[in-house]
Structure 1
Amino acid sequence: MAKAARKSGFSVKSVVIPVLGLFWLAVTTLPFIFVVMMSLKTQNETYVNPVWALPESFNLSNYIDVLKGSFLIYLRNSLFVISVSVVLIVLISAMAAYALARLRFRLSGALFGLIVAGMIVPLHVTLVPVYLMTKSMGLYDTPAALIGPYVAMSLPISIFILTEFMRQVPKELEEAALLDGCGPFKVFWKIFFPLSGPGLSTVAIYNGIMLWNEFVFAYVLTSSPDKRTLPLAVWDFQGQYASNIPAILAVVTLSSLPLIIVYAIGQEKIVNGMMAGSLKG
């Protein structure tokens, strides 16, 4: 029987894997579908109709009300903070990874270990010192106050990922560039930075997704509604629309859409980058 199953191309794996994939697809998409459905309902429908009932009409009034408020200000602040933070994270971690991976200097191994150890430090224990530092620098209650903490807490894992990539760049390329008269800085920009493209994409997308959802630092380091980022929109709109569940879920949907779009576009780069790093390492 087993031989007959192999001849026909049937195997348990060919059945189990698709079933598990469909199950995981349902687990991940049903909550979002539920949120979108609820956001299209009127306030009266949420109390009268069953929870999973479809909206009686394609009602966009909740979205219109949210967009007329301060939602776009939150979105603007998030785009500014995340864009600047991700660019700085990629540049700083790439240069640090190059130095740790290819430049020979005393205590390079100890320094790499110290950086990696930063991954196990609970980030929230730094809230008080970061808050005091932000106040003393005059950056409190500005979007710029979030950039420093975001970059700092993202560097350890970013440097760890990129160091493994840059260690696998062939030495022959580096030696050829040095023979042509390139210095270490030019070697980095001309060879290591372009060849680390999969790792750089992984670092950028991973950190962008993580920082987009960051709440605690944004809550502690900002206080004015026009200076806060998108994760705090749900918090603030919850008070404004305390009894209007569809409006709150409209905020949740709008906050999630940019993240979903970016991840849908960049998920292949994340997977390829992680696979490349694991194969090379």
Structure 2
Amino acid sequence: MTLFANRLGAKPFRPGIFLLGLVWLAVTTLPFVFVVATSFKSQEETYSNAVWSLPSHLDFGNYLEVLHGGFFTYLENSVFVVGISVVLVVIFSAMAAYVFARLHFRFGKTLFALVVAGMIVPLHAALVPIYLLIRNIGLYDTKFALIGPYVALSLPISIFILTEFMRQIPHELDEAAQLDGCGPFRIFWKIYFPLSTPGLATVAIYNSIALWNEFIFAYVLTSTPAHRTLPLALWDFQGQYASNIPAMLCVVTLTSLPLILVYAFGQERIIKGMMAGSLKG
């Protein structure tokens, strides 16, 4: 059977890998199934029945309660903050990556190393200075309080990805553009930026997923529901002595759906962008 498969150009069946794949599928899928199933339960059923039991009937009351509450305000804030942050990250990281990848200048490698080193800085180490800065400039508890920190914390890995991607673009394009009288900015905007579309898509998708789920900065830099993002919507269903577990998991389900759709359609671009520069052909 293996010889026949090799002659046809197909990969031989490996039961061990197939079994590991099924185990990994179960590990990654069952938590989401649990969240969705519990979101359709009432509070009484959640506490009286087994944890993994399916709901006796689909109770849409939790979803109606969430949607009629402040969910859309949180959603609007998340779309606003994440959208602007991702656009700024893509533009700034693309310009910086072009400089590091194509323009040779003194201490360029050292500066690039310092930028990449920002990837290993713990986010919590910068929390207090950022909080004090945001309060001093008068942006605390506004939608704009999160954009600056989000952009700054997303730039190191974005610059790293795009720099490795732009290094693969042929140098002959630079020479041809220079012969036509193009300067560095025009070369970047007319050649490198369009040719880096796969890398830009990777950066946009990766940062959208990361910032959509960000909690700690949103919690520290905002204080009222009018300016908070979706990860903080869970606090609306948590009291001092009890929590509405089904409603909270309903919020988790609604919050996760956009990320699942984005990653389902963009996972190939993310993988290719992450692997850019690792292989030379």
TM-score using structure 2 length: 0.93
Partner of 2:93: 93
Between structures 1 and 2, the one with greater helix share: 1
Stretch deviating more after TM superposition (257-266 or 48-57): 48-57
Letter in 1 for 2:2: R
TM-score using structure 1 length: 0.93
Superposed counterparts of 1:1-281, under 5 Å: 6-9=2-5, 14-239=14-239, 242-280=242-280
Q: Number of residue pairs matched? A: 277
Q: Distance between the aligned counterparts of 1:104 and 1:60, measured in 2?
A: 60
State the SS of the aligned residue for 1:239.
coil
Stretch deviating more after TM superposition (263-272 or 145-154): 263-272
Stretch deviating more after TM superposition (240-249 or 228-237): 240-249
Change over 3 Å in CA distance of 1:118–1:243 after alignment to 2: closer
1:129 to partner: Cα distance: 1.2
Change over 3 Å in CA distance of 1:56–1:231 after alignment to 2: same
Percent identical pairs in the alignment equals 68
Q: Distance between the aligned counterparts of 2:112 and 2:80, measured in 1?
A: 30
Letter in 1 for 2:176: A
Residues 82 and 212 in structure 2, CA contact (< 8 A), matched pair in contact too:
yes
Letter in 1 for 2:190: K
Change over 3 Å in CA distance of 1:150–1:12 after alignment to 2: same
Residues 161 and 273 in structure 2, CA contact (< 8 A), matched pair in contact too:
no
Residues 198 and 276 in structure 1, CA contact (< 8 A), matched pair in contact too:
no
Letter in 2 for 1:54: L
Letter in 1 for 2:21: G
Deviations 1:151-191 (A, max 9, x none): 00111111111111111110111110111111111100111
Letter in 2 for 1:7: L
1:273 to partner: Cα distance: 2.1
Residues 241 and 248 in structure 1, CA contact (< 8 A), matched pair in contact too:
no
Q: Which runs of 5+ in 1 are unaligned?
A: none
Q: Distance between the aligned counterparts of 2:131 and 2:253, measured in 1?
A: 31
Residues 130 and 149 in structure 2, CA contact (< 8 A), matched pair in contact too:
yes
Q: CA RMSD in A?
A: 1.9
State the SS of the aligned residue for 2:140.
coil
